[in-house]
Amino acid sequence: MKLSTLLLGISLLAAVPAHAGTEGEAPAAPFVTLNPEVTISDGVIRLGDIFLGAGDKADRTVAYSPRPGKRAEFDARWLYRVARAHGLEWRPGSKSDRLVVVRESHVVPLGDIKSMLHEGLLEQGADPDSRAVLSNRDLTLHVPVDSADRVGVHAVNLDAGTGRFSAVVAWGDGDDERSRITGRLEHMIDVPVLISRKMSGDVIRETDIKWLELPQKRLSRNAIVDPARLIGMAVRRTVSAGKPVADNDVRRPLLVGKGDRVTMVLATPQMQITAVGRAIEEGGEGDTISIANTQTNKVVEGVVTGPGQVRIDAPVNLAMR
Q: Residue 232 class from Cβ within 10 Å (0-12 exposed, 13-18 middle, 19+ buried)?
A: middle
Residues 194 and 181 occupy one common structural domain: no
pLDDT tens sequence across 55-77 = 999 999 999 999 989 999 999 99
pLDDT tens sequence across 259-283 = 999 999 998 888 888 899 999 999 8
Asked if the model's pLDDT at residue 10 lies above 80, the reply is: no
Q: Which one is predicted more confidently, 42 or 49?
A: 49
DSSP β-ladder status, 250-251 and 234-235? antiparallel
> Does residue 164 form part of some domain?
yes
Give which of 70, 79, 77 is closest to 101, Cα–Cα: 70
pLDDT score recorded for residue 65: 92
Asked if the model's pLDDT at residue 44 lies above 90, the reply is: yes
pTM across the whole model = 0.53
CATH number of the CATH domain containing 240: 3.90.1210.10
pLDDT score recorded for residue 176: 57
pLDDT score recorded for residue 178: 80
Number of folded domains that form the chain? 4
Range of the domain at 48: 30-103
Across the chain, what does the average pLDDT equal? 85
Encode 135-169: b = buried (16+ Cβ within 10 Å), e = exposed.
eeeeeebbbbeebeeebebeebebeeeebebebeb
Mean pLDDT, range 115-143, rounded to an integer = 88
Asked if the model's pLDDT at residue 151 lies above 90, the reply is: no
CB contact at 8 A, 171 and 144:
yes
> Does residue 6 form part of some domain?
no
Which of 142, 162, 187 corresponds to the end of one domain?
Answer: 187
Which of 170, 187, 204 corresponds to the end of one domain?
Answer: 187
